[in-house]
Amino acid sequence: MEEVKVEPPPQPVMKFISVTSDALTEEQREMYESVLTTWKPVMFPKRIKRYICNKCNKEFKNYQNLYLHTTRVHSSEESAVICDICDKTFKNKHYLYMHRMNKHYSELEKCYCQFCLQEFRTRRALHMHVKRIHPNTLPEIKCNECGKEFSVPYKLKYHIEACHRTDKEKYKCHLCHKLYKNSLNLNRHLHFQHTPVQRHPCVFCNMTFKSRHHMKRHVLNIHPPLESKVTCPECLKEFKNDQYLKEHMQVHSSLDSKVKCDICDKFFHSAIRLKKHKKIVHPSKPKMRCEKCNKEFAHAHYLRRHNNAVHLEMDETEYPHSCDQCGKKFKLKKYLNNHLQRHEQQHLKRISQMVKTVMGEEKDVPVKKRGRPRKARAEIEFIKCEPVSSSDSESGETESDSE
């Protein structure tokens, strides 16, 4: 006999629980506080980092001031440095640098500004002076291919490598042969896709993520705390967090702030929605065709979803999503959600009927019928005909003759 594996029932998704609730563990409460500190800084401000000296307990504004304090005041013989020119000893490297600049600085290393002839001891100081005092005299940093201007040379270098590079195979992954615009994206791809990195588990479910940021974003969207709820000031609709509210507020925007598709002249509330529209309706890549019904899709994700929804042959008893109320099973979760909405509508309808019967409103309020209203027919009065005897008929005839 084969053992039948019984899968544990899916646990309900935890969401809209207050940070102060006793149902949360200490780890979950810390995660909620971290999420709200990142995306709700007004209600949960970030903790200010304090820079305190361990030896004299003096507090400083930043790490640089703390470092200078420790090297000047609490420096030891181990941190002492020696000048290689005059063999003089100093507390730290900062004092040695100032000594070299003042005592052992040669005339050959001096720099002069070509516009005002001011003297500087380093090339960096000269560059900062020209940038601040003579900004209009700096040469233009412009791309020769497209004419785009940049403030610093390294940005122009990145622009040329990303947009106008002829060697497309330069930044190619040697494992999966994917192409990338620059070395930064390639290194990020190698780190996340082909390197065994530490996964960050969610404290509310069994999912794991590549980075802590993605895990916190998952908590905010799937397991949102009660404090993250926001309300639209225009229509009073509630949303999980500020991100959904920001997307919703574009619905209330005017026509002037909308963006237009240059291909089909459709208007959209934001550039993100326009980008999604172009990606699906006007894709730059060739469309992918379904082998069974020849329907075209812009991306493999939509084709896969179409195959799972339409062409996946599965017995109805094996459908993964089932309704808790009536036991009906569905192939996709989307169909189950639509079915649950019908249950909710029926429940609300029953409640409204019960309220009407209790309040006695059923007699007063007429039930509205569908279709065109019919004209009221006039009631016809029927007169009952009584039988007439022969003597009455004869007397009626004599009266008529006499007349």
pLDDT level of residue 11 (50, 70, 90 thresholds): low
Distance (Å, rounded) from C-alpha 209 to C-alpha 103? 56
Does the domain at 139-197 match CATH 3.30.70.270? Answer given as: no
Render 310-365 in DSSP notation, one character per residue. Answer: II----GGG-SEE-TTT--EESSHHHHHHHHHHHHHHHHHHHHHHHHHHHT-TTTS
- Residue 391 has what pLDDT? 54
Mean pLDDT in residue range 202-217? 86
The phi and psi torsions of 225 (rounded to 5 degrees) equal -75, 165
* Chain-centroid distance, C-alpha 108: 57
Q: Is 105 helix (H, G, I), strand (E, B) or coil?
A: coil
Distance (Å, rounded) from C-alpha 120 to C-alpha 129? 9
Q: Is 180 helix (H, G, I), strand (E, B) or coil?
A: coil
Whether this prediction's pTM lies above 0.75 is answered by no
Measured CA to CA in angstroms, residue 36 lies from 25, 219, 230, 247 at distances of 17, 10, 13, 19
Q: Is the pLDDT of residue 343 over 50?
A: yes
Distance (Å, rounded) from C-alpha 267 to C-alpha 264? 9
Q: Is the pLDDT of residue 398 over 70?
A: no
Q: Is the pLDDT of residue 128 over 50?
A: yes
Q: Is the pLDDT of residue 360 over 60?
A: yes
Contact 329, 319 (CB under 8 A): yes
Comparing 69-83, 134-148, 342-356, 375-389, which segment has the lowest mean pLDDT? 375-389
Kindly state which CATH superfamily the domain 229-282 is placed in.
Answer: Classic Zinc Finger (3.30.160.60)
**Which residues, in sequence order, are CB contacts of 328 under 8 Å at separation 6+?**
322, 339
* Chain-centroid distance, C-alpha 272: 11
- pLDDT tens-digit map of 242-265: 778 877 887 787 777 788 888 888
Q: What is the mean pLDDT of the chain?
A: 77
**Which residues, in sequence order, are CB contacts of 325 under 8 Å at separation 6+?**
340, 343
- Residue 2 has what pLDDT? 43
- pLDDT tens-digit map of 55-108: 888 888 888 888 888 877 887 777 788 888 888 888 777 788 888 877 877 766
- pLDDT tens-digit map of 143-192: 888 888 887 777 888 888 777 777 666 788 888 888 887 788 888 888 87
- Residue 403 has what pLDDT? 47
Contact 244, 51 (CB under 8 A): no
Where in the chain do CATH 3.30.160.60 domains reside? 139-197, 229-282
Q: Is the pLDDT of residue 19 over 70?
A: yes
Distance (Å, rounded) from C-alpha 197 to C-alpha 205? 20
Q: Is the pLDDT of residue 46 over 60?
A: no
Q: Is the pLDDT of residue 401 over 70?
A: no
Mean pLDDT in residue range 315-327? 83
Comparing 175-184, 277-286, 326-335, 356-365, which segment has the lowest mean pLDDT? 356-365
- pLDDT tens-digit map of 280-304: 788 777 778 888 888 888 777 788 8
- Residue 400 has what pLDDT? 47
